[in-house]
Amino acid sequence: MRGKQVTYWVIFCALCVGYGVLKGQVGEAGRESPFSIGVGARALGLGNAGTAFPDDPSAFAWNPAGMVVVEEKRVGLSLTTLFEGTLYNFIGFVYPTMDAGTFGFGMSRIGTGGIKYTKVEDGAPFDTGEEIDYWWGKLTLSYAATFFRGLSVGFNLNVNRQSLWLYSTNGFGVDFGIHYRIPVTGGLLNNLYFGGMVENGISPRMKLGTKAETIPYITKLGIAKYFQFRGNRDRWLFLVDWEQGQQKESQYHFGTEYSWNRSIYLRVGVDDGEFSFGGGLRYRHFQIDYGMSQIGDPEFFQRSHRFSLVFYIGKSIPEKRRILEEQRLMEIQSGINQRIEANRQEQIAEGLRSGNEYIENGDYFNARLAFSSVLRIDPDHAEARELLDWVTEKDQELQEQRQEALLQRERETVSLQRDNEFISARLKEGLEALDNRDFRKAIENFEQALERDPEDPQIQGYLQQARSALENEVYQLFARAQQNLNRGEISEAYNALDRARDQAEGNPNLQTEVQRRLRNLEINVDFINSYQAGVNRYAQGEYDEAARYFARALEYRPDDEPAKEYYQKSLARSLEERSELEGEALGKYRTGLERYREGLFKEALQLFNEALALAPNNVRLLNAIEDAEKRIELYEE
């Protein structure tokens, strides 16, 4: 007689693969998922501690919110042989974006085949000769985003499917995660991470046979901290996880990883009392990881070995941000260059316009100056060169006409002829010097020519215009020296004033102005040197020396507020006044501390400054002010 068909081996393997052997628990909430053993060789080597810093393509399996620590697109493949031909396969993909959060996708599968199908008929089992398969798969879609200063949240949408011979079932669930990175740079809290996850927060409900089961939830909490060495090329990571299942006792996981040059990885961990270790090797965009640990009861199962292959795709988020910043700076520089070029073109256009106006008025002298200024800006400017040649030729014609008239007069006497030759030579040399913008030489030649013919209006005009051009040149050098000083180009400022001093030789008024500006430049240089030396001594804690330098700086600029403030701080710290605050100063200090604890740093800073006005040399107040200023600067960034 045919009774019920009993598939002993099927039931055994289903229970094993379904997590009965792999430390799972069964209760009213149902059987724990076999995927709770974790994925990826990296996590296995770290003792399955990965909630706070899951830095690989399986990040969403450990904490969906923790995907934010993955800085570039990654694809991961993992293959693990569990027991009796049971295979555990995983593929994961994490896709971080600049502004839209981080996306994840994964597929996991545990299964075995070749199970003999045995029936019981008339009370006796017999082998049917058939073989059947059993597998459990999970498809995961994940998302994570940072909402506020290092605080991130994320979730997994899971689709579970079980298949046993002719039977199958589906279940849908959701995992929830939270992640936090303390937003500080430097100090013990730098690179400190916290993570939490509720796996199966919305539990899948599975019904493979006649009884439906709900997969129980698992709560995980973790903390991670890493240290960097050798210019951030090496990293030492420490992780601690706590895990509490709905149907099992608490478990603890510990792991540490040392990465050398971001290429070689060594890992050691403790997985709920079981020792684990592993390592990894990365070459360019590829990485292979290995992990070994005990999964299941060691009395029945040997240690499990797991291999993972990781592919790095594209540039990391920090690299993209650096490229965007470089592009932004290039755009800024391009805008500056465009403005400089536009200003240059305006100067050229103005020079051409004024030169043409001078030509229309017959003022060839100033026309030559205008066109030579254009060529000084753009030596290859064809129009300015052509106009300068034409003006020079016209001016030469006028000189020739004048020379002819002078020669007519000079024929009367040899002395008059010699004077005319001398004047013509001086005028020629003066005009050539004028074209070369050597105004001193031009003035000397025009003055020598005027000595021979004091009543000549043309020579008088040339001399007056050359002196005006010289004065304009000197004041342009003054302006250039001031611009150089404003940009901190001290050497260039000195060079400009030295050139101005050379040009001003023989002009008492200009020489006096040059000396005055040189003295002002020396005062500014002395102030800058004293101020910077004071800042350096203050940063090194040499407050007596700092106060001396700031006092010297205030001799040059008595009203400079930063120097006065630094001088007061240096003097206070050098005196080390630590007397107890009293009266109104104490009240303002305590109120400022309350505002500081409430995060109202600007109000706290105002109260500290008011207290400092009542107790100017109190070090405790100075420390409070500096700390409040740092907090304000940090939050404004």
Q: What are the pLDDT digits (tens) for 304-343?
A: 888 999 999 988 888 888 898 889 888 888 888 888 888 8
Rg (CA), the chain: 43
- C-alpha 336, offset from chain centre: 22
- Average pLDDT for residues 491-496, to the nearest whole number? 79
User: Mean pLDDT of all residues in the chain?
Assistant: 82
Mind giving me the DSSP string for 269-306? Answer: EEETTEEEEEEEEEETTEEEEEEEE--S-TTT-PPEEE
Domain segments of the chain as ranges: 36-110+132-314, 577-637
Nearest to 539 by CA among 564, 507, 506, 573: 573
Q: Residue 299: is its pLDDT beyond 70?
A: no
Q: Residue 14: is its pLDDT beyond 50?
A: no
Quick one: CA dihedral 360, 363, 365, 367, positive or negative?
negative
**Out of 40-49, 138-147, 370-379, 494-503, which region has the weakest mean confidence (pLDDT)?**
494-503
Nearest to 610 by CA among 632, 633, 587, 580: 587
- Structure confidence by residue, pLDDT tens digits, 80-119: 877 767 888 999 999 999 889 999 999 999 988 777 777 7
DSSP bridge pairs for 174: 157, 202
- Average pLDDT for residues 246-268, to the nearest whole number? 92
In this predicted structure, what is the pLDDT of residue 23? 44
What letter represents residue 615's amino acid? Answer: A
In this predicted structure, what is the pLDDT of residue 60? 94
70 phi/psi in degrees, rounded to 5: -80, 120
- Average pLDDT for residues 281-299, to the nearest whole number? 85
- Average pLDDT for residues 135-158, to the nearest whole number? 94
- C-alpha to C-alpha distances, 473 to 384, 439, 470, 503, nearest whole angstrom: 20, 9, 5, 8
**Helices vs. strands in the chain: H and E counts, helices first:** 16, 18
Can you tell me the distance from the alpha carbon of 107 to that of 325, in angstroms, rounded to the nearest whole number? 37
- C-alpha to C-alpha distances, 278 to 23, 61, 533, nearest whole angstrom: 22, 19, 53
In this predicted structure, what is the pLDDT of residue 140? 96
Q: Residue 492: is its pLDDT beyond 90?
A: no
In this predicted structure, what is the pLDDT of residue 398? 79
In this predicted structure, what is the pLDDT of residue 569? 77
DSSP bridge pairs for 595: none
- Average pLDDT for residues 399-426, to the nearest whole number? 74
In this predicted structure, what is the pLDDT of residue 12? 39
Task: Read off the pLDDT band of 270 (50, 70, 90).
Answer: very high
Environment class of 25 (CB within 10 Å of its CB; exposed 0-12, middle 13-18, buried 19+): middle
Q: Residue 29: is its pLDDT beyond 80?
A: no
Q: Residue 9: is its pLDDT beyond 60?
A: no
Residue 603 or 141, more confident: 141
In this predicted structure, what is the pLDDT of residue 406? 73
Task: Read off the pLDDT band of 577 (50, 70, 90).
Answer: low
Q: Residue 575: is its pLDDT beyond 70?
A: no
In this predicted structure, what is the pLDDT of residue 18? 42
The pair of three-digit structure tokens given for residue 464, joined into one six-digit string: 């007056």
CATH class of 36-110+132-314: mainly beta
Residues 6+ apart with CB under 8 A from 244: 218, 219, 220, 250, 251
Burial string for 26-44 (b: 16+ CB within 10 Å, else e) reads: beebbbbbbbbbbbbbbbb
In this predicted structure, what is the pLDDT of residue 121? 74
In this predicted structure, what is the pLDDT of residue 26? 43
Residue 30: HSE in the Cβ half-sphere, 13 Å Cα cutoff: 20
- Structure confidence by residue, pLDDT tens digits, 204-224: 998 877 788 888 999 999 999
Can you tell me the distance from the alpha carbon of 203 to that of 219, in angstroms, rounded to the nearest whole number? 13
In this predicted structure, what is the pLDDT of residue 24? 42
Task: Read off the pLDDT band of 138 (50, 70, 90).
Answer: very high
DSSP bridge pairs for 290: 279, 307
578 phi/psi in degrees, rounded to 5: -120, 25
Q: Residue 160: is its pLDDT beyond 90?
A: yes
Q: Residue 579: is its pLDDT beyond 70?
A: no
Nearest to 155 by CA among 139, 140, 174, 181: 174
264-271 and 274-283 beta bridge pairing: antiparallel
Pair 256, 278: CB distance under 8 Å: no
Instruction: Pick from 47-56, 323-332, 379-388 the range whose average pLDDT is largest.
Output: 47-56
Q: Residue 265: is its pLDDT beyond 90?
A: yes
**Out of 176-190, 315-329, 523-537, which region has the weakest mean confidence (pLDDT)?**
523-537
- Average pLDDT for residues 461-483, to the nearest whole number? 78
- C-alpha to C-alpha distances, 407 to 178, 397, 398, nearest whole angstrom: 101, 15, 14
